[in-house]
Structure 1
Amino acid sequence: MARGKWVCSYKKTTLLVCFFNIAVALYALHSLYSSLYIYSGNVSRNVALYSPDQIRKMELSIQIRGEFKPVELIKWVKALEGEFSSETVAVELPRHLKQNIIDEILQRLRSLNFSRTDIAKEREVVESWRKEKLEEVKSALVKGTSNSTIPHEEAGMLVRALESNWAVLCEEIGLWIPAQVSNEEHDDKPEGAEEFEDEILPGRPVSPECHAELHTDYDGAAVRWGLTFHKDSAADCCQACLDHAKHAKEGEKKCNIWVYCPSEFGCHSPDIYQHKHQECWLKYAEKPRLNFKDKYPESYRNSHPSAPVIVPWVSGVISS
């Protein structure tokens, strides 16, 4: 009997443990189900429900905004954006096209016999080349009407560069031909103006003792740092050199060389600095020596890809 009671007690204990486990499992399932129900209920409550009147008001609001939309202004803005984008593309010519333009212009200039200081003739030759080239590339755009070997895509780029952005392209390739003011139509030349008939620099006339040389870069020890010394014109730069030499103290180096950057796009130099428009360098050299004259050598441009063909600087050695 004792053994039977013990066995009965063991079975009851096992059943109680099983029932307890089942109860815990059911509670866990109930909790999980409840959390899922609450989450789905929150999501459904977050969905916005609009009444027909609210929907009608929103549609009316969208219609009113559409009617007051500045359509004409948007058209003008898009047209201006198209013009600006076309100008940007026009000057972004591939390197080989720029090099071809440079070579053709230099070849045309070398084939003619005229003085380097004859700026009017130089401008005329370059403008004649531009018109001829423009006609050639325009013909290349018309299929079957041109014998040009220029690819159709490059012809389109050249037309935009030569027609709309010629001045900018000239600066990019280092072709700087200053404007020449002529007063032949009016007899208003001041007395002694014959001395300045060959004047080619913008701004006020340069004094004869400045000995201004276009497309020239002289070497020398800097007595005034040009990065922080700007002048409005080459004449002002030369005058600064003359004043420095006049007021220099005993034992100090007197300025006898001035170098000026007339290009609005800055001037190239082999150093690490970016030389900007109107930089004026005052230098001294016992025996003035040229860095570059007229154009940069091909060997130099090969080692300095950013260098233009034509030297942009204006320099002069003042009278002693």
Structure 2
Amino acid sequence: MARAEWGLQGRGKWVCSYKKTTLIICFLNIAVALYFLRSLYASLYIYSGNVSRNIVLYTPDQLQKMEESIRIRMTYKPTKLVKWVKKLENEFSREMDAVQFPQHLKQKITDEILQRLRSLNPDGADIELDISKEREAVESWRNEKLKEAKSALTDKTSNSTIPREEAGMLARALESDWAVLSEEIGLWVPFEVSNEEHDDEPEGEVELEEEVLPGRPVPSECHAELHTDYDGAAVRWGLTHHKDSAADCCQACLDHARNAKEGEKKCNVWVYCPSEFGCHSPDIYEHKHQECWLKFAEKPRLNFKDRYPESYRNSHPSAPLNVPWVSGVISA
């Protein structure tokens, strides 16, 4: 009996101590929470007080000076420069749109232009087409295609072979973005340039360095001219006619003139590409090292001489500064 009473008393004490401990912990939590709330309120009060104290009140004289400063900055604002930058951004945007022109349409345009150019020479003879005829053929194709694309857009009953979803892109490319698209598909529409007189070079321009042609020396009867490209009707297509040196190209022209049959055109102009990197030309072909063109012209005429004109390089960014070809006119 005594043991039972002692057990109840001990259990009562344990229960009492547990309740006290719980109450103490609750009071501590409340005290900590109140402390943090007070600290937060104090920091907000200090911040708001600092903000209110940092407000600056300007005098009328200071405000007038600030307005004058803004007016001066606006007066000296580079408006012309801003306009030029916007113009360049628009042009760049147009070029990016042309670059994103679908590849299959670019290929289709290239094939159609090549087909139109080949139609000028249905026999497939190795002759050089007249520059003006090539230009007219490309421009004629462009006008016809542009008309067909616009018709496909406006006339639902049109018999055009151009899908309506492609007609808009094609019309824009052929009209406003034609120059950029021409570069993208590797088309350079040739035009005639005559540089027979060379007294218009800018003052102080460095003269072309004297170059030594690789291979054996060119005979005097070849009349070789560095950095020169002569026009003429091709009697031997240079894309498939390569020679080891300019002297060999000239000799091929001499041999052709000597062995030509009666009534055939005799070579009297030779044009050779001595550059290992190939030679630039305003046509759709890629001209490689050692190409040898044999031509005939009743009155030989220059295409380019010494340097490409600045206006030409502006429209043909891939053109080098100097004409890479070497040419010559031999005696008939």
Per the normalisation by structure 2, the TM-score is 0.44
Per the normalisation by structure 1, the TM-score is 0.45
